[in-house]
Amino acid sequence: SMKDVPTWLPDGTVLPCNLPREDTNDAFITANGITKIADLPDGSVIGTASLRRQAQLMTQNPTLKCVNFRGNVQTRLRKLDDGVVDATLLAIAGLKRMEMQDCATAVLEWDEMLPAVAQGAIGIQCRTDDERSLKYIAALNCMDTHVCVNCERAFLAALDGNCKTPIAGQAKIVDGKIVFRGLIAMPDGTSKFTTESTGEIADAVEIGTKAGEDLKAQAGDKFFEMMVEMSPQQVLGQITK
């Protein structure tokens, strides 16, 4: 899963191949059939272990309560059914791969919940000097996915992204151009910075890098210093359910 691959690869390895990408968006799953974040009643409890999702939820409605929500998909859905939370979010790609997409109340578009960098993409890593394997996996590569993932990971690298910082970034190819959107935010949603850019497919990595640099300039050094200084409890702002 490319979403979980470290920003910087071990020496002597490459990621030359991405399989065709699944839907990158997040599934919104609610107990009462609500399909939009904006329609959640004030004070609703949302189960998520993702700072990216938490930040975007609380930017839209600061009264929402995000609680640390862990366990496999079945466990999370059972907690929802038991009334532990009012709603939760999961990658629709994962639900589709488990043939559980019907559990989704709605699938959120970028304007409502920007997905994680490389969400929905599968990659194949290989040793740099393994020419035989590189030749075989080259035939499996989906170039559109590969270009978009490289753009998104360049964005992440420019931000020196880590698990404390809510970061979202997505690229897609539209009419022969690469379109990118990215954001960073405070975990509690009190501040959010966004960037958008469009350019040539050949410039995908440069576009991602410049987008990351743009957000660093917007947010300023103080934002990132605060992220580094925050304790795990301050970052999460959650209770475990």
User: What are the residue numbers of the active site?
Assistant: 4
Q: What is the spatial distance between Cα 189 and Cα 143, in angstroms, rounded to a whole number?
A: 35
- Residues belonging to the chain: 241
Place of tokens 């466990």: 75
Residue 26 to residue 107: CA distance in whole angstroms:
6
d(CA 147, CA 142): 9
Q: Apex CA 114: angle with CA 21 and CA 40, to 5°? A: 125
Q: Using CB atoms within 10 A of its CB, is residue 135 exposed (0-12), middle (13-18) or buried (19+)?
A: exposed
Q: CB–CB of 157/209 below 8 Å?
A: yes
Whole-number Å distance between alpha carbons of 13 and 227? 30
Please state, in angstroms and rounded to a whole number, the distance separating the CA atoms of residues 86 and 57.
13
User: What single-letter amino acid sits at 145?
Assistant: T
The DSSP call for residue 68 is B
Round to whole Å and give the CA distance between 154 and 79: 37
Taking Cα atoms as reference points, which of 35, 39, 82 lies closest to residue 64?
Answer: 39
